[in-house]
Amino acid sequence: MKSLVLRRPDDWHVHLRDGAALAAVLPFTAARFARAMVMPNLNPPVTTTRQALEYRERIRARLPAGAAFEPLMTLYLTDATPPEEITRAKAAGIVGCKLYPAGATTHSDAGVTDVRRIDATLARMAEVGMVLQVHGEVTDPQVDIFEREARFIEAVLAPLAARHLQLRIVFEHITTRAALDFVHGARAGIGATVTPQHLLMNRNALFAGGLQPHHYCLPVLKAEEHRAALLAAVAGGSPRLFLGTDSAPHARRAKEAACGCAGIFSAHAGIELYAEAFEAAGALDQLEAFAALNGAAFYGLPRNEATVTLTRDAWRVPERLPFGDEELVPLRAGESLAWRLAA
Ligand code: DOR
Ligand code: ZN
């Protein structure tokens, strides 16, 4: 049986939720990843250092016994986040601040209405070395949903990066050729995360045989040419790109609804899915850098010393997983995955 030993990977973008949902999903992430960048879009959002540290304690309290996993915390930026909060957060070991354009996605209502309103806060972030993590889509309902990422680059991200030349920025969950071009042509200090769904599926997956709510996430899946470009970029070993699953659990009832929530749960196979994508591109030798080296280098954090082993030993993903009092439909539910995480 073919097997693959990798330095233990990190997930640079994950939604762990809170309470019973947190307890249900955390073991999947902790089993695979040494560290994860935990998104702050709880309800209410994690906007202060104190809230982030309390959230970190709730995560740690839910960790399975013996888990070697470190949650890395982020603050949710609002129009009113003061520069002083950034200084406090940095001193407390918080690694990044997430910019959600108000209304862009799940629990983003308290997000930033206009980035120029937070320029003083962004300047403080650059000064103290706090990373800005960006959900890169414009929110104007007049803009075609497939164009929102490309539009965001020219309208918001490029000017922001030029106004704050020392600010380190992660363009999260990129989905288009335009985003790749921006990241690869950008000044130093700009990187991007790529999800498994955007490497493995194109927008046809939203409508294959009928409406597929479990393939709906934001940014939405794009056309095949964009998927192919993303896969070629990670397979080519771009050091600016790194793993961020954007695993975003929602109860089955909330997904299979007249107005279904955005988010794909992938933590149950958070490294296995990438192995499948890299294998399809003939680039398994590039997986370790993408999953375990590039992100740590970008964030200036040490490399993980432990390893994980993947074996080419097909398994069937459960149809549903427990999710507190609800249930959760994982990506590839009921289907076979080629790679398995060895115990
Ligand atoms: O699909 C998504 N789900 N995109 C996001 O940006 C947020 C996430 C969530 O929290 O459910
Ligand atoms: Zn996300």
Mean pLDDT over residues 267-272, rounded? 98
Compute, in angstroms, the gap from residue 11 CA to the centroid of ligand 1.
Answer: 15
Q: Which of 101-115, 143-157, 201-215, 328-342 has the lowest mean pLDDT?
A: 101-115
Q: Is the CB of 106 under 6 A from ligand 1?
A: yes
Q: What is the pLDDT of residues 78-100, one digit of tens each?
A: 999 999 999 999 999 999 999 99
Q: What is the pLDDT of residues 273-326, one digit of tens each?
A: 999 999 999 999 999 999 999 999 999 999 999 999 999 999 999 999 999 999
**pLDDT for position 105:** 81
Q: Read off the pTM.
A: 0.98
User: Looking at the 3D structure of the chain, how many domains does it have?
Assistant: 1
Compute, in angstroms, the gap from residue 91 CA to the centroid of ligand 2.
Answer: 25
Compute, in angstroms, the gap from residue 236 CA to the centroid of ligand 2.
Answer: 24
Determine the distance from the C-alpha atom of residue 18 to the mean position of all C-alpha atoms in its chain, rounded to a whole number: 17
Residues 6+ apart with CB under 8 A from 285: none
Residue 107's pLDDT band (cuts 50, 70, 90): confident
**pLDDT for position 334:** 98
Q: Is the CB of 17 under 6 A from ligand 1?
A: no
Measured distance CA(132)–CA(258) in Å, rounded = 34
Residue 231's pLDDT band (cuts 50, 70, 90): very high
Mean pLDDT over residues 197-204, rounded? 98
Q: In which domain, by residue range, is 127 found?
A: 3-341
Q: Is the CB of 249 under 6 A from ligand 1?
A: no
- Helices 49-62 and 83-91, axial angle in degrees (round to 10): 40
> 1 pLDDT exceeds 80?
no
Mean pLDDT over residues 316-342, rounded? 98
Which atom of ligand 1 lies nearest, measured to the CA of 216? 1
DSSP string, 65-109: TT---EEEEEEE--TT--HHHHHHHHHTT--EEEE-BTTSSTT-T
Ion ligand 2 nearby residues (CB, 5 A): 246
Q: What is the pLDDT of residues 33-71, one digit of tens each?
A: 999 999 999 999 999 999 999 999 999 999 999 999 999
Q: What is the pLDDT of residues 239-254, one digit of tens each?
A: 999 999 999 999 999 9
Mean pLDDT over residues 178-207, rounded? 98
Say which CATH number the domain at 253 has: 3.20.20.140
Ligand nearest to the CA of 103: 1
Average pLDDT, rounded, for the chain:
97
> 210 pLDDT exceeds 80?
yes
Q: Is 246 a catalytic residue?
A: yes
Which DSSP helix (H) or strand (E) runs through 190? Answer: strand 190-194
Residues 6+ apart with CB under 8 A from 219: 136, 137, 148, 149, 173, 175, 198
